[in-house]
Amino acid sequence: MVNVLFVCLGNICRSPTAEGVFRALIEREGLAGKVGVDSAGTGAWHIGNPPDRRAQAAARGRGVDISAQRARQVELADFDAFDYVIAMDRSNHADLTSLAPPAARDRIHMFLAFAPETGLREVPDPYYGGAGGFDEVLDLVEAASRGLLDDIRNRHL
């Protein structure tokens, strides 16, 4: 099993979207028994909450239901359990790097490193913006999910 954890700040917008989109891709590719998917936040504010309604609506627009997800915070054990710990932005990456045991730091990646064609390094935080920000998140997440799956196939499957 290859396990992937998507991480953002609140675990109610970007990382639940990534979890939902990537899981749908894994299922379409018949890899559900080989690749595990989860998400978490670096912050604690939204623990136990479902994804933001705007994130749910944007995902539903792409045929992905993320309504059953509940937010949780990243914990030390995640660096054991997950082969890929994927940050949405540089701030998430820095927080994960300071939390991780040094030997596990090479498990941390920027999500958009798997989508160089986007020309972006970070998935922008859509929380304080309009609905368009959530559609941009979906576009970036769909692109990076394909690149991440290619990397998993090349390195693990």
Residue 5 or 9: the one with the smaller Cβ distance to ligand 4NP is: 9
Beta-sheet strand order (sheet of 2-8): 35-41, 2-8, 84-87, 108-110
How far apart CA 38 and CA 70 sit, in angstroms, is: 10
Closest approach of ligand 4NP to the CB of residue 2, in Å: 24
Residue 10 or 20: the one with the smaller Cβ distance to ligand 4NP is: 10
Give me the residues that bind ligand 4NP (CB under 6 A), please.
8-14, 45, 125, 127
How far apart CA 45 and CA 10 sit, in angstroms, is: 7
Closest approach of ligand 4NP to the CB of residue 119, in Å: 20
**What residue number has its CB nearest to ligand 4NP?**
10
Q: Please say if 14 is a catalytic residue.
A: yes
Residue 36 or 43: the one with the smaller Cβ distance to ligand 4NP is: 43
Structure tokens at 98: 């300071």
User: Cα 26 to the chain's mean position, in Å?
Assistant: 14
**What does the DSSP 8-state code read for residue 82?**
-
Structure tokens at 133: 């920000």
Structure tokens at 86: 């994927």
Closest approach of ligand 4NP to the CB of residue 59, in Å: 13
Residue 3 or 91: the one with the smaller Cβ distance to ligand 4NP is: 91
Active-site residue (options: 53, 121, 125, 139):
125
Q: Please say if 8 is a catalytic residue.
A: yes
Query: Which residues touch 27 (CB under 8 Å, ≥6 apart)?
Result: none
Closest approach of ligand 4NP to the CB of residue 83, in Å: 22
**Which residues are tagged catalytic?**
8, 14, 125
